[in-house]
Structure 1
Amino acid sequence: MNGQNRADIYPGLEVDIILKKDQRSGKLTRGIVKDLLTSASFHSRGIKVRLEDGQVGRVAEIIEDDF
């Protein structure tokens, strides 16, 4: 699932984000969402979030829980 819709993203969710410094390479960083920083309901490049470890980036992928 992509991270373009704000409604799909919430604190505690595991996601892969692209950090600003990694935009050219497309390197993903995995972490847990702490805060949502984009106020719009949709963003074409991904909703901007802050991870629990303090890193900020745009959500590239939502990690699906396998229950």
Structure 2
Amino acid sequence: MDARTESPWLTVSEVARFYRVSTRTITRWVATGEIRSTRIGPGRLVRIHRSELTDQQHDLSAAS
């Protein structure tokens, strides 16, 4: 396995694929606080911790 598959941090695109929604939907969920995120690195890229997927899975998929 490479380091990327082991990372607990996911991109907006990866989370969108998981929930089967658009990246815009994930960005909106982040902006409204429906899903927690953090900004990582010098470019301050948005990343979502893998644990957010299991914590929020049922609530968010019903809301979309």
Same fold (TM over 0.5): no
Which structure has the highest helix share of the two?
A: 2
Q: Which has the larger radius of gyration?
A: 2
Which structure has the highest strand share of the two?
A: 1
